[in-house]
Amino acid sequence: MLAFRYRDKGTVIHKLNPFCKLLWVVSVLVFALIFDHPVYLLLLFLSTMPVIIAATVRNEWLSVMKLTLYLCIAIVIINMMLSYHGSHVLLEAPFRIPVMGTPTVTLEAMVFGLAMSLRLLAIISAFAVLTFTIHPDDLMLSMIKMKLPYKSVLVTSLSTRFIPTLVDDLECISDVQRSRGLELDKGKLPQRIKSRMSIMIPLLCNALDRAVQVSEAMESLAFGSGTKRTFYKEIRMSRVDVVTLTLGFFTIGFGIFMCLSGFGDYQYYPTLEVISMGGLEWSVLSLLICLLLSVVMLAFVKRSSDLD
């Protein structure tokens, strides 16, 4: 479970301001959802790669992508089975289902499923950057700075901090129970659930005792005394970060403007549109991708300015 977690690798992407990374993830998410055109979605997906490579999280990313592929297959199959629209019929069933009509598999549905898989891949690839390169504490700190409800964020960060502790507890308890003769992977589903339960109840009781300790520790640090809280770690905004953020907001605005003025539109049904993109469209699209990629370039600029 702990394979998919943040590890500080000290690359330029890891050191980038968390606000900039969050904004980048949000912009990829928004673009992936507002554009329908397969070429746009493909380029969007490809544009996340340089960030992955710069952050040296390729192996983690690959394992996430492997899991995503199963979801993609599900998307393609469900679309092919569900939408009987489209004019290029590949397969037609010889029977009729009363309410649903005659099941048919069309080329349009298949292409639509593939394009939607690209959309999912782009989104998940962007979120992988968030998971692997932002420390959960930094994420929480930036949430507090964005004026999200303080106590909720505190609960989340406390809980994240205790996960590794509880995983240790869990391993310890299962060793203890196993040494007493408990066999975890034996029997049918109800039996297996029951045997795991003898691990879960002690874990729960332990954790509740820990809750008392945490609460006492918070009281002793005068939690809720009303004065303004200070933080040991602060998120500093350098000049490069401000530039990156401004560019990020501009990118989102530019993308939405593109979408509203008709770029990135594509008709899958009833007949696949011919992919014809004029010179203007290509140049606008490549400008958008460059803007998205500027976050990597500015990250390198930031490092060299930090070294100075």
DSSP state of 17: -
Exposed/middle/buried for residue 123 (C-beta within 10 Å: 0-12, 13-18, 19+): buried
12, 43, 199, 245: which one binds other proteins (CB under 8 A): 199
Contacts with other proteins: how many residues (CB under 8 A)? 77
Both tokens assigned to 9: 């690798």
CB of 172 to other proteins, least distance (A): 13
SS3 state at 90:
strand
Site for other proteins, residues 124 to 143, rule: CB under 8 A: 124, 127-128, 130-131, 136
41, 57, 105, 116: which one binds other proteins (CB under 8 A): 116
Site for other proteins, residues 68 to 87, rule: CB under 8 A: 74-75, 78-79, 81-83, 85
Query: What CA–CA distances, in Å, run from 198 to 1, 181, 190, 194, 206?
Result: 20, 12, 13, 7, 13
53, 162, 172, 235: which one binds other proteins (CB under 8 A): 162
Based on the shown chain and the rule CB under 8 A, indicate whether residue 176 belongs to the binding site for other proteins: no
CB of 248 to other proteins, least distance (A): 18
CB of 243 to other proteins, least distance (A): 27
CA distance 141 to 153: 8
Q: Which is nearer to other proteins, 119 or 302 (CB)?
A: 119
Both tokens assigned to 295: 């976050």
CB of 305 to other proteins, least distance (A): 30
Secondary-structure breakdown of the chain: helix, strand, coil percentages, each rounded to the nearest 5: 70, 5, 30
The DSSP code sequence of 133-175 is HS-HHHHHHHHHHTT--HHHHHHHHHHHHHHHHHHHHHHHHHH
Residue type, 17: N
Site for other proteins, residues 243 to 272, rule: CB under 8 A: 268-269
Stretch 289-308: interaction string toward other proteins, x if CB under 8 A: --------------------
Q: Which is nearer to other proteins, 92 or 164 (CB)?
A: 164
Based on the shown chain and the rule CB under 8 A, indicate whether residue 170 belongs to the binding site for other proteins: yes
CA distance 264 to 203: 52
CB of 99 to other proteins, least distance (A): 7
Both tokens assigned to 29: 């998410």
189, 274, 275, 280: which one binds other proteins (CB under 8 A): 189
Site for other proteins, residues 16 to 55, rule: CB under 8 A: 29-30, 33-34
Q: Which is nearer to other proteins, 19 or 298 (CB)?
A: 19
Based on the shown chain and the rule CB under 8 A, indicate whether residue 146 belongs to the binding site for other proteins: no
Q: Which is nearer to other proteins, 19 or 294 (CB)?
A: 19
CA distance 18 to 142: 7
User: For 183-213, what is the HEC assignment?
Assistant: CCCCCCHHHHHHHHHHHHHHHHHHHHHHHHH
CB of 22 to other proteins, least distance (A): 11
Give the residue from 79, 75, 74 showing the smallest Cα distance to 90.
Answer: 79
CB of 33 to other proteins, least distance (A): 5
Near other proteins by CB under 8 A, which window of 13-21, 207-215, 238-246, 286-294? Answer: 207-215
